[in-house]
Amino acid sequence: MLAITRRTLLGRLGALGLGVPLAWAARPAGATSDGARDFIQAIGARALKVAAGARDRRKEGLKELLKDGLDIEAVGRFALGAFLRQSNPKKVEEYLLVFHDYVMMAYPDMLAKFDLRAFNILSVKASEGDTTFIATSIEYGEKDKSEVGWYVREVGPGAYKVQDVQLEGFSLRAFQRAKFEKILRDRWIDGLIRILAGWVKAGKEEPYF
């Protein structure tokens, strides 16, 4: 397995808060930021509950967070970079299916030992369109603390998804794109699909050089 680095931690942090579905009634357009704030607040509460629970149940709890709240397709498309436009649409759909399986395999495994202690919202700022940027402070491990930013988009009336996560200038989506860049340059999308499928089958991610 790869050594844990700050960028790996970004992936862990990004996965940790990704989601909880909210089936609220439709809100006025001006209330989008309020809904996004409530969404992130709910994410924090749920993430804390998962972190405080039994260790042997954390992985399943994290899978549910990912499945419910992360816009996995949006992250997967961004990770392809220029290859998104250069690839056959059917190949992109094939890739997105295996990318979903990869996220559900890799992210919870990375987060299973993550020890979140506190989660607090610092500020809420409308970004562009229907996206809101929310700054939070998280405490984890024995005494670590970081500021984490969340880009949240209203994907339907009262329904929200996390589009990106930022930690000290590092972006979850950019991190994922960087991980796939060499594979795509060497083997194109077909090679990436095969490698992701292999990782999913093995239940772990192997280094690619």
Domain count, the chain: 1
Q: Is residue 51 part of a domain?
A: yes
Encoding tokens for residue 18?
């990704």
Q: What would the pLDDT profile of 175-193 be if each residue is shown by its tens digit?
A: 999 999 999 999 999 999 9
Q: What is the pLDDT of residue 32?
A: 82
| Site of tokens 């795509």 | 184
CATH of the domain at 90: 3.10.450.710
Task: Give the domain extent around 85.
Answer: 6-202
Angle between helices 89-111 and 6-16 (to 10 degrees): 100
Q: Is residue 154 part of a domain?
A: yes
Cα–Cα distance between 95 and 76 in angstroms, integer? 8
Q: Is residue 1 part of a domain?
A: no
Following CA atoms 82, 87, 93, 94 in sequence, which dihedral angle do they give, to the nearest 10 degrees? -110
**Residue 127: pLDDT band with limits 50, 70, 90:** confident
Q: Is residue 13 part of a domain?
A: yes
**Residue 58: pLDDT band with limits 50, 70, 90:** confident
Per-residue pLDDT for 12 more than 90?
Answer: no
Q: Is residue 103 part of a domain?
A: yes
Q: Is residue 207 part of a domain?
A: no
Q: What is the pLDDT of residue 90?
A: 95
Q: Is residue 165 part of a domain?
A: yes
Per-residue pLDDT for 73 more than 90?
Answer: yes
Q: What would the pLDDT profile of 151-178 be if each residue is shown by its tens digit?
A: 999 988 889 999 999 987 889 899 999 9
Please, are residues 170 and 73 in contact by the beta-carbon 8 Å criterion? no
Q: Is residue 156 part of a domain?
A: yes
Cα–Cα distance between 158 and 151 in angstroms, integer? 16
Better pLDDT: 107 or 194 = 194
**Average of pLDDT values for 70-82?**
94
